[in-house]
Amino acid sequence: MTEADFIDWKQLRGKTFYITGGTGLIGYYLIQTLLYRNAKFQDHIRILALVRNPEKARAMYERQIPGAGDFLQFVQGDVTETQRMEDSVDFLIHGASPTASRYFVEHPLETLETAIQGTSNMLHLAEEKQVKKMVYLSSMEVYGDHQSEDKISEEEAVCLYPMNLRDSYPIGKCTSENLCQAYSHERGISVDVLRLSQVIGTTCPVRKSHDTRIVMEIARDILSGSDIVLKTKGESKRTYVYVADAVTAILKVLTCEGSDVYNVANEGTYCSIYDMCQLAAEKVAGGKIKVVVQEKDEGIYPAPNCLNLSNEKLRACGWKSNTGLEKMFRRLIHY
Protein backbone atom coordinates (compact mmCIF):
# COMPACT_ATOMS: atom_id res chain seq x y z
CA MET A 1 0.00 0.00 0.00
CA THR A 2 2.97 2.35 0.50
CA GLU A 3 3.86 2.13 -3.18
CA ALA A 4 0.39 1.99 -4.77
CA ASP A 5 0.88 3.41 -8.27
CA PHE A 6 -2.65 4.88 -8.44
CA ILE A 7 -1.91 7.37 -5.64
CA ASP A 8 -0.30 10.71 -6.49
CA TRP A 9 2.17 10.66 -3.61
CA LYS A 10 3.68 13.98 -4.67
CA GLN A 11 0.54 15.77 -3.51
CA LEU A 12 1.02 14.35 0.01
CA ARG A 13 4.72 15.14 0.48
CA GLY A 14 5.54 17.66 3.19
CA LYS A 15 1.90 17.92 4.27
CA THR A 16 0.43 17.78 7.79
CA PHE A 17 -2.26 15.21 8.57
CA TYR A 18 -4.68 15.46 11.50
CA ILE A 19 -6.06 11.96 12.18
CA THR A 20 -8.70 10.96 14.72
CA GLY A 21 -8.93 7.38 15.91
CA GLY A 22 -5.15 6.94 15.88
CA THR A 23 -5.33 3.74 17.96
CA GLY A 24 -8.15 2.26 15.89
CA LEU A 25 -7.66 -0.25 13.09
CA ILE A 26 -7.75 2.09 10.11
CA GLY A 27 -6.06 4.99 11.89
CA TYR A 28 -3.19 2.72 12.95
CA TYR A 29 -2.55 1.42 9.43
CA LEU A 30 -2.92 4.87 7.89
CA ILE A 31 -0.33 6.32 10.27
CA GLN A 32 1.97 3.34 9.71
CA THR A 33 1.74 3.88 5.96
CA LEU A 34 2.60 7.58 6.17
CA LEU A 35 5.52 6.93 8.53
CA TYR A 36 6.85 4.25 6.22
CA ARG A 37 6.67 6.69 3.31
CA ASN A 38 8.75 9.12 5.37
CA ALA A 39 11.35 6.46 6.17
CA LYS A 40 11.67 5.04 2.67
CA PHE A 41 10.95 7.99 0.41
CA GLN A 42 11.69 10.99 2.67
CA ASP A 43 8.18 12.36 2.14
CA HIS A 44 8.40 14.44 5.34
CA ILE A 45 4.73 13.96 6.16
CA ARG A 46 3.79 15.27 9.63
CA ILE A 47 1.07 13.49 11.60
CA LEU A 48 -1.01 14.85 14.48
CA ALA A 49 -3.00 11.95 15.96
CA LEU A 50 -5.91 12.71 18.29
CA VAL A 51 -6.07 10.00 20.98
CA ARG A 52 -7.77 9.71 24.36
CA ASN A 53 -4.92 7.71 25.88
CA PRO A 54 -1.42 8.81 24.79
CA GLU A 55 0.22 6.02 26.83
CA LYS A 56 -1.77 3.38 24.96
CA ALA A 57 -0.89 5.09 21.69
CA ARG A 58 2.83 5.21 22.48
CA ALA A 59 2.75 1.52 23.42
CA MET A 60 1.20 0.67 20.04
CA TYR A 61 3.85 2.59 18.15
CA GLU A 62 6.87 1.89 20.39
CA ARG A 63 8.43 -0.48 17.87
CA GLN A 64 7.78 2.01 15.13
CA ILE A 65 10.02 2.78 12.19
CA PRO A 66 13.25 4.51 13.34
CA GLY A 67 12.83 8.26 13.38
CA ALA A 68 9.03 8.04 13.46
CA GLY A 69 8.89 10.27 16.54
CA ASP A 70 10.17 13.18 14.48
CA PHE A 71 6.96 13.14 12.42
CA LEU A 72 4.29 11.70 14.76
CA GLN A 73 2.74 13.73 17.57
CA PHE A 74 -0.10 12.55 19.82
CA VAL A 75 -2.76 15.08 20.76
CA GLN A 76 -4.67 14.09 23.89
CA GLY A 77 -8.40 14.68 23.69
CA ASP A 78 -11.79 13.40 22.61
CA VAL A 79 -13.64 14.15 19.39
CA THR A 80 -16.67 15.31 21.38
CA GLU A 81 -14.55 18.12 22.84
CA THR A 82 -13.79 21.41 21.09
CA GLN A 83 -10.44 21.14 19.31
CA ARG A 84 -7.96 23.99 19.81
CA MET A 85 -4.51 23.93 18.25
CA GLU A 86 -1.89 26.22 16.80
CA ASP A 87 -0.57 23.95 14.06
CA SER A 88 -1.59 24.26 10.44
CA VAL A 89 -3.33 21.22 8.90
CA ASP A 90 -3.48 20.19 5.26
CA PHE A 91 -5.57 17.00 5.47
CA LEU A 92 -8.01 15.86 8.15
CA ILE A 93 -9.07 12.20 8.41
CA HIS A 94 -11.93 11.61 10.85
CA GLY A 95 -12.17 7.95 11.78
CA ALA A 96 -12.82 7.93 15.55
CA SER A 97 -15.95 5.89 16.29
CA PRO A 98 -17.23 3.06 18.48
CA THR A 99 -17.42 -0.20 16.51
CA ALA A 100 -19.00 -2.86 18.79
CA SER A 101 -22.64 -3.83 18.25
CA ARG A 102 -23.21 -4.42 21.97
CA TYR A 103 -21.95 -0.89 22.70
CA PHE A 104 -24.47 0.61 20.22
CA VAL A 105 -27.35 -1.04 22.11
CA GLU A 106 -26.08 -0.43 25.64
CA HIS A 107 -24.80 3.12 25.00
CA PRO A 108 -26.92 4.63 22.20
CA LEU A 109 -26.58 8.18 23.55
CA GLU A 110 -22.79 7.99 23.58
CA THR A 111 -22.83 6.37 20.13
CA LEU A 112 -24.88 9.23 18.68
CA GLU A 113 -22.95 11.95 20.52
CA THR A 114 -19.59 10.62 19.35
CA ALA A 115 -20.79 10.47 15.76
CA ILE A 116 -22.68 13.76 15.50
CA GLN A 117 -20.85 16.06 17.93
CA GLY A 118 -17.49 14.54 17.02
CA THR A 119 -18.03 15.10 13.31
CA SER A 120 -19.34 18.63 13.90
CA ASN A 121 -16.17 19.45 15.86
CA MET A 122 -13.94 18.04 13.15
CA LEU A 123 -15.75 19.97 10.43
CA HIS A 124 -15.38 23.16 12.47
CA LEU A 125 -11.64 22.46 12.81
CA ALA A 126 -11.38 21.75 9.08
CA GLU A 127 -13.00 25.11 8.35
CA GLU A 128 -10.81 26.94 10.87
CA LYS A 129 -7.62 25.44 9.41
CA GLN A 130 -8.85 25.72 5.82
CA VAL A 131 -7.71 22.17 5.07
CA LYS A 132 -7.16 21.06 1.50
CA LYS A 133 -9.53 18.14 2.14
CA MET A 134 -11.27 16.24 4.93
CA VAL A 135 -12.23 12.57 4.72
CA TYR A 136 -15.04 11.20 6.89
CA LEU A 137 -15.05 7.44 7.45
CA SER A 138 -18.64 6.27 7.33
CA SER A 139 -20.05 2.75 7.06
CA MET A 140 -21.98 0.44 4.75
CA GLU A 141 -24.51 0.26 7.62
CA VAL A 142 -26.01 3.59 6.51
CA TYR A 143 -27.87 1.60 3.83
CA GLY A 144 -29.79 -0.08 6.66
CA ASP A 145 -32.47 -2.69 6.00
CA HIS A 146 -31.59 -3.33 2.37
CA GLN A 147 -33.07 -6.60 1.11
CA SER A 148 -32.27 -6.64 -2.62
CA GLU A 149 -29.09 -8.38 -3.76
CA ASP A 150 -28.62 -5.87 -6.55
CA LYS A 151 -25.43 -3.79 -6.44
CA ILE A 152 -25.77 -0.75 -4.18
CA SER A 153 -24.50 2.52 -5.60
CA GLU A 154 -23.85 5.66 -3.57
CA GLU A 155 -27.19 7.11 -4.75
CA GLU A 156 -29.19 4.33 -3.07
CA ALA A 157 -31.80 5.49 -0.52
CA VAL A 158 -31.25 4.43 3.10
CA CYS A 159 -33.73 2.53 5.28
CA LEU A 160 -33.17 3.02 9.02
CA TYR A 161 -35.44 2.72 12.07
CA PRO A 162 -35.15 5.58 14.61
CA MET A 163 -36.88 3.55 17.36
CA ASN A 164 -34.35 0.71 17.08
CA LEU A 165 -31.46 1.36 19.50
CA ARG A 166 -29.08 -0.75 17.39
CA ASP A 167 -29.60 1.79 14.60
CA SER A 168 -28.00 4.51 16.74
CA TYR A 169 -24.75 3.70 14.93
CA PRO A 170 -25.91 3.97 11.29
CA ILE A 171 -28.22 6.90 12.12
CA GLY A 172 -25.25 8.70 13.69
CA LYS A 173 -23.16 7.95 10.61
CA CYS A 174 -25.93 9.06 8.27
CA THR A 175 -26.44 12.33 10.16
CA SER A 176 -22.70 12.94 10.12
CA GLU A 177 -22.64 12.44 6.35
CA ASN A 178 -25.34 15.10 6.04
CA LEU A 179 -23.26 17.44 8.23
CA CYS A 180 -20.32 16.91 5.88
CA GLN A 181 -22.51 17.76 2.90
CA ALA A 182 -23.86 20.85 4.66
CA TYR A 183 -20.38 22.15 5.52
CA SER A 184 -19.23 21.49 1.98
CA HIS A 185 -22.22 23.38 0.55
CA GLU A 186 -22.33 26.35 2.93
CA ARG A 187 -18.72 26.73 4.05
CA GLY A 188 -16.85 25.56 0.98
CA ILE A 189 -14.97 22.79 2.83
CA SER A 190 -13.90 19.91 0.58
CA VAL A 191 -15.12 16.73 2.31
CA ASP A 192 -15.19 13.19 0.98
CA VAL A 193 -17.29 10.48 2.65
CA LEU A 194 -16.10 6.88 2.47
CA ARG A 195 -18.72 4.21 3.18
CA LEU A 196 -16.56 1.33 4.29
CA SER A 197 -17.51 -2.32 3.98
CA GLN A 198 -16.61 -4.62 6.87
CA VAL A 199 -12.87 -3.97 7.27
CA ILE A 200 -10.62 -6.97 7.94
CA GLY A 201 -7.36 -6.48 9.80
CA THR A 202 -5.94 -6.19 13.31
CA THR A 203 -3.56 -3.98 15.29
CA CYS A 204 -2.26 -6.74 17.58
CA PRO A 205 -1.71 -10.53 17.53
CA VAL A 206 -5.03 -12.31 17.01
CA ARG A 207 -4.71 -14.48 20.13
CA LYS A 208 -4.18 -11.41 22.34
CA SER A 209 -6.87 -9.26 20.76
CA HIS A 210 -10.09 -8.42 22.63
CA ASP A 211 -11.76 -7.44 19.36
CA THR A 212 -15.23 -9.05 19.25
CA ARG A 213 -15.88 -8.59 15.55
CA ILE A 214 -16.89 -11.82 13.88
CA VAL A 215 -13.82 -11.92 11.61
CA MET A 216 -11.58 -11.83 14.69
CA GLU A 217 -13.61 -14.54 16.42
CA ILE A 218 -13.22 -16.70 13.31
CA ALA A 219 -9.47 -16.10 13.21
CA ARG A 220 -9.14 -17.09 16.87
CA ASP A 221 -11.18 -20.24 16.23
CA ILE A 222 -8.91 -21.21 13.34
CA LEU A 223 -5.79 -20.71 15.46
CA SER A 224 -7.19 -22.70 18.39
CA GLY A 225 -8.75 -25.42 16.26
CA SER A 226 -12.22 -24.65 17.66
CA ASP A 227 -15.47 -24.84 15.74
CA ILE A 228 -16.90 -21.53 14.55
CA VAL A 229 -20.08 -20.87 16.56
CA LEU A 230 -22.64 -18.47 15.07
CA LYS A 231 -25.22 -16.75 17.31
CA THR A 232 -27.44 -16.14 14.26
CA LYS A 233 -28.13 -18.09 11.09
CA GLY A 234 -25.59 -15.89 9.35
CA GLU A 235 -28.04 -14.92 6.62
CA SER A 236 -26.89 -11.33 6.19
CA LYS A 237 -24.83 -10.78 3.06
CA ARG A 238 -22.18 -8.11 2.66
CA THR A 239 -18.94 -7.10 1.02
CA TYR A 240 -15.57 -6.84 2.78
CA VAL A 241 -12.36 -4.86 2.34
CA TYR A 242 -8.84 -5.47 3.59
CA VAL A 243 -7.50 -2.73 5.86
CA ALA A 244 -4.59 -1.93 3.52
CA ASP A 245 -7.06 -1.36 0.68
CA ALA A 246 -9.16 0.90 2.93
CA VAL A 247 -6.04 2.99 3.58
CA THR A 248 -5.23 3.34 -0.12
CA ALA A 249 -8.83 4.42 -0.72
CA ILE A 250 -8.39 7.25 1.80
CA LEU A 251 -5.12 8.38 0.25
CA LYS A 252 -6.56 8.14 -3.26
CA VAL A 253 -9.56 10.40 -2.63
CA LEU A 254 -7.37 12.98 -0.89
CA THR A 255 -5.84 13.78 -4.25
CA CYS A 256 -9.17 13.93 -6.13
CA GLU A 257 -10.93 17.23 -6.81
CA GLY A 258 -14.17 18.25 -5.14
CA SER A 259 -16.38 16.56 -2.53
CA ASP A 260 -18.05 13.21 -3.05
CA VAL A 261 -19.20 9.98 -1.40
CA TYR A 262 -17.66 6.60 -2.23
CA ASN A 263 -18.35 2.97 -1.37
CA VAL A 264 -15.18 1.12 -0.35
CA ALA A 265 -15.52 -2.59 -1.02
CA ASN A 266 -14.02 -5.56 -2.81
CA GLU A 267 -17.01 -6.60 -4.90
CA GLY A 268 -15.66 -10.15 -5.23
CA THR A 269 -16.06 -10.78 -1.49
CA TYR A 270 -19.87 -10.52 -1.43
CA CYS A 271 -21.32 -13.47 0.47
CA SER A 272 -23.41 -14.39 3.52
CA ILE A 273 -21.83 -14.45 6.95
CA TYR A 274 -22.48 -18.20 7.06
CA ASP A 275 -20.72 -18.75 3.71
CA MET A 276 -17.78 -16.61 4.89
CA CYS A 277 -17.46 -18.87 7.95
CA GLN A 278 -17.60 -21.95 5.74
CA LEU A 279 -14.86 -20.56 3.52
CA ALA A 280 -12.68 -19.92 6.56
CA ALA A 281 -13.32 -23.39 7.98
CA GLU A 282 -12.75 -25.25 4.71
CA LYS A 283 -10.11 -23.20 2.88
CA VAL A 284 -8.13 -21.53 5.66
CA ALA A 285 -8.49 -24.12 8.42
CA GLY A 286 -8.22 -26.98 5.93
CA GLY A 287 -11.53 -28.55 6.99
CA LYS A 288 -10.28 -29.23 10.53
CA ILE A 289 -13.09 -27.22 12.09
CA LYS A 290 -16.78 -26.76 11.25
CA VAL A 291 -19.45 -24.10 11.48
CA VAL A 292 -22.08 -24.52 14.21
CA VAL A 293 -25.24 -22.38 14.45
CA GLN A 294 -26.46 -21.68 17.99
CA GLU A 295 -29.00 -18.90 17.62
CA LYS A 296 -29.18 -16.46 20.52
CA ASP A 297 -31.35 -13.36 20.21
CA GLU A 298 -29.59 -10.68 22.25
CA GLY A 299 -30.92 -7.74 20.25
CA ILE A 300 -27.40 -6.64 19.37
CA TYR A 301 -27.25 -7.97 15.83
CA PRO A 302 -28.74 -6.16 12.83
CA ALA A 303 -31.70 -7.83 11.11
CA PRO A 304 -30.64 -9.93 8.07
CA ASN A 305 -29.94 -7.69 5.10
CA CYS A 306 -28.01 -7.55 1.83
CA LEU A 307 -25.24 -5.00 1.45
CA ASN A 308 -23.76 -5.68 -1.97
CA LEU A 309 -21.75 -2.49 -2.35
CA SER A 310 -20.64 -1.35 -5.79
CA ASN A 311 -17.16 0.18 -5.95
CA GLU A 312 -17.59 1.44 -9.51
CA LYS A 313 -17.24 5.13 -8.61
CA LEU A 314 -14.01 4.60 -6.65
CA ARG A 315 -12.58 2.33 -9.36
CA ALA A 316 -13.31 5.05 -11.91
CA CYS A 317 -10.92 7.26 -9.91
CA GLY A 318 -8.20 4.63 -10.30
CA TRP A 319 -8.47 2.77 -6.97
CA LYS A 320 -7.85 -0.98 -6.95
CA SER A 321 -8.68 -3.75 -4.48
CA ASN A 322 -7.47 -7.25 -5.25
CA THR A 323 -7.39 -8.85 -1.79
CA GLY A 324 -9.97 -11.66 -1.57
CA LEU A 325 -11.53 -13.09 1.58
CA GLU A 326 -9.28 -16.13 1.80
CA LYS A 327 -6.16 -13.98 1.48
CA MET A 328 -7.55 -11.55 4.08
CA PHE A 329 -7.96 -14.35 6.62
CA ARG A 330 -4.55 -15.82 5.86
CA ARG A 331 -2.90 -12.42 6.36
CA LEU A 332 -4.87 -11.88 9.57
CA ILE A 333 -3.74 -15.22 10.98
CA HIS A 334 -0.16 -14.72 9.82
CA TYR A 335 -0.08 -11.38 11.65
* pLDDT at residue 301 greater than cutoff 90: no
Is 99 among the domain residues?
yes
The range of the structural domain enclosing residue 120 comes to 78-334
> Is 60 inside a domain boundary?
no
What value does the mean pLDDT of the chain take?
93
The answer to the question of residue 212 being in a domain is: yes
Residue 21 lies in a domain: no
- What average pLDDT does the segment 223-245 reach? 95
> In the predicted model, is pLDDT for residue 67 greater than 80?
no
> How large a percentage of the chain has pLDDT more than 70?
97
Residue 56 in domain = no
- Taking alpha carbons only, the member of 328, 310, 327 closest to residue 319 is 310
Which helix (H) or strand (E) element contains residue 292?
Answer: strand 291-293
- pLDDT level of residue 10 (50, 70, 90 thresholds): very high
Residue 315 lies in a domain: yes
Number of compact structural domains in the chain: 1
Q: What is the pLDDT of residue 104?
A: 93
Identify the pLDDT of residue 207: 83
22 belongs to a structural domain: no
* Residue 108 falls inside a structural domain: yes
Q: Which of 222-260 are b and which e, b meaning 16 or more Cβ less than 10 Å from the residue's Cβ?
A: beeeeebebebebebbbbbbbbbbbbbbbbbbbbbeebb
pLDDT at 91 over 70: yes
Mean pLDDT of 27-38: 96
- Residue 263 and residue 142: Cα distance in Å, rounded? 11
User: The domain that contains 268 carries what CATH number?
Assistant: 3.40.50.720
